[in-house]
Structure 1
């Protein structure tokens, strides 16, 4: 097996569990998807750019961890420490299916996540009750996630493929219905609304011991030395996507010259290598084929 094939196999296993399940994206022919997303739309472009999604995904996990109730739910109910790859597979499956999948496939994964959320509830260490299906908590998780994905895309997509300010607003608008299907409310629909929302949330955010532990776990994750090195480089790069106040809250002290002059070039080089290894996305190709059926009919 050549280098490119090895990279593709390792990434497919790490991100998708080894099976892309292309039937979710290829059929039924002519199906426009639950949210009508096309290859020209900002959501497709952001969620289809591997380096931006990898760095943005790590940034999202760190930012989300600053909400004590969201972190309590993860800490008390998630198996991310025992099965981090399985947890990653589930998250990737949800994002790819709701973005590129058929309407039936998207409804299926949304229904699954909603059912899981009803079982996630408890009491945080500070004594407050929480529920994963709390609309306000869902809005936090979604906004932290899409804000991070967009930041990753704008930092690591080829310059010609980055979004204009108007397209960034369109990204938030197109991503919002997924969160609303899960039960979120008052979801930000523009860059300005997202940043205003984060400003309003800041008094409610801080790093709990569980949050700091989760960041340490992420930085050390990897099943092989090669995987641990890749994760460390991507995690370092994701730190640069966080707002300054989030880095401070997590106790991350990484000077701006290091973030821009060291972390970003290394992550860019790693990302290009990974994207080369993956080659053209089979998932996106299957989705394009399904959508082509709609144009022909």
Structure 2
């Protein structure tokens, strides 16, 4: 474990560290976000086109959770570097929509806004339902302001991020008519609900307990999804299970959170790359420099472009390969990302 270079973009007194540092975030919160995201046709087309969630479920989970944890907790230089390379990773996820015509691009600002708001909303929802409970009004305003800060590391505009719960609800209401439970969306959602696929290899005597835990997380995630969404996607779970899973998960997460060592040990089994990001924070290891920067300050200091303006030539070459030459896109971004986001296998 090494200390972070600085406090990043939020710091120890922030509501971001409070919510994203609770064990609901990398479990139910994250699973809910990636499952709900698949209802967006361009996004699920990108997911289906790359096949990453099917071919390398564990490393895909590990790398994605690590990225979101880095934005919340890591030093500013690390976050800028990760956001920059992620643009190149996403440049690979382009192609033609399998239903209805048109094209998709994982770097599209609308898709990135959908990912950002679904992720931050899901993490907060899981925290409120299975964690300590609702935030105060002041904390909630600060949370959505922080979401806009984090959006600066996506290709979307932070100006499009709602700053209130009502604004977030209005965004999802606007998105609802555009959502679709296509065959590939249903396939992806069911696959992503199989929590056991991201568990590490383990002795046979541990497998029954791990499977029970995986099924509990799945039930907890489904219990956070509105009924209309479950019906659209063909996901069923009784109201009784919805009710019974709440006290079970609240107790389990509260117990895990009592001990930083226990919580980190569990996280290391689930997402090794993420554990190294969160460990200094949970164990109280101070950074080398006790400062918090804005994204603009960090970009100026380290020389990175805004994600929306980054690697435009590379992205154009990728588009020409796929749409013009009908070839597979370059893997360069994925290869480069391993140094920052962790191995692909």
1:253 lines up with 2:236 in the alignment: yes
Find 1:141's aligned residue among 115, 121, 128: 115
- For the 8 Å contact 1:136–1:184, the answer to whether it is kept is yes
The Cα of 1:204 is off from its aligned counterpart by 0.2
The Cα of 1:293 is off from its aligned counterpart by 3.9
Task: Tell me which structure has the larger Cα radius of gyration.
Answer: 2
Give me the TM-score of the superposition, normalised by structure 1: 0.81
**In structure 2, what is the Cα distance between the partners aligned to 1:271 and 1:226?**
16
Find 2:280's aligned residue among 279, 283, 288: 283
RMSD (Å) for aligned C-alpha atoms: 2.3
**In structure 1, what is the Cα distance between the partners aligned to 2:89 and 2:44?**
16
Distance 1:93 1:235, change over 3 A: same
Structure 2 residues without counterparts, runs of 5 or longer: 200-206, 266-277, 293-345
Report the counterpart of residue 50 of structure 2 in structure 1: 77
The Cα of 1:242 is off from its aligned counterpart by 1.9
Moved over 6 A (4+): none
1:117 lines up with 2:90 in the alignment: yes
Give me the TM-score of the superposition, normalised by structure 2: 0.70
Report the counterpart of residue 64 of structure 2 in structure 1: 91
- For the 8 Å contact 2:7–2:73, the answer to whether it is kept is no
Find 1:165's aligned residue among 137, 142, 145: 137
Find 1:268's aligned residue among 242, 245, 250: 250
1:227 lines up with 2:230 in the alignment: no
- For the 8 Å contact 1:170–1:190, the answer to whether it is kept is no
Where 1:81 maps in the other structure, the secondary structure is: helix
- For the 8 Å contact 2:91–2:106, the answer to whether it is kept is yes
> Number of residue pairs matched?
265
**Residues 1-297 of structure 1: pairs in structure 2 closer than 5 A:** 22-23=1-2, 26-28=3-5, 31-33=6-8, 35=9, 37-126=10-99, 127-159=101-133, 162-185=134-157, 186-222=160-196, 223=199, 224-260=207-243, 262-272=244-254, 274-275=256-257, 276=259, 277-278=262-263, 282-285=279-282, 289-290=286-287, 293-294=290-291
Structure 1 residues without counterparts, runs of 5 or longer: 1-21
Q: Which segment drifts farther, 102-111 or 44-53? A: 44-53
Distance 1:279 1:27, change over 3 A: closer
Where 1:253 maps in the other structure, the secondary structure is: coil
**In structure 1, what is the Cα distance between the partners aligned to 2:180 and 2:89?**
26
**In structure 1, what is the Cα distance between the partners aligned to 2:282 and 2:129?**
25
Distance 1:52 1:102, change over 3 A: closer
Superposed CA offset, 1:152-199 (max 9, x none): 01112224xx41133223211102222232211312222111110000
- For the 8 Å contact 2:195–2:218, the answer to whether it is kept is no
- For the 8 Å contact 1:56–1:241, the answer to whether it is kept is no
Report the counterpart of residue 307 of structure 2 in structure 1: none
